[in-house]
Amino acid sequence: MNCQEDRGRDRAKEQAKFQLKSVCEMVSRLKSEDSEISEIVREEIELDAISVEVRSSWHSPGQDDSDGEYRICLCTGGPAVQIVGELDSYNQPYNATLQYQDWFTEWEDYDLAKEEEANLVRYCSVFYFGG
């Protein structure tokens, strides 16, 4: 690894930190008891993501092929940040991992506190994953 890769990785990690802060701020406003504010924040969250994708796991023909994993792209390029996680049997997210990368580097997990992961899951639960 060279210095340029290190700088890129550091820049990507800073972008992940910024995205996490933004998500946590939106989720705190989402918890408002004012339904009008909550609806505005839900729309803000829906417009925040660049893309929302799902995929299913390997299964035998004829078995339930519901989606098993999701990915929400928050920003792309160098740096890029995404949220990945698994969906429960109701196609709702039950965990979330924040990942970041820069050009030509692998995705890395951003270390999250339990409350930060809970905020990511709440953010992701605004999206429709099918089912």
Report which of 67, 26, 30, 33 is spatially closest to residue 49, judged by C-alpha positions. Answer: 26
Q: For 17-55, what is each residue's pLDDT tens digit?
A: 999 999 999 999 987 777 887 889 999 999 999 999 988
In 3-state terms the chain splits into helix, strand, coil percentages (rounded to 5) of 40, 25, 35
110 pairs with which residues across the strands?
none
Domain boundaries, the chain: 3-124
pLDDT at residue 1 above 60? no
**DSSP-derived secondary structure letter, 32:** -
Contacts of 26 (CB under 8 A, 6+ apart): 41, 44, 45, 48, 123
Identity of residue 95: N
> pLDDT tier at 58 (50, 70, 90 boundaries)?
low
**DSSP-derived secondary structure letter, 31:** T
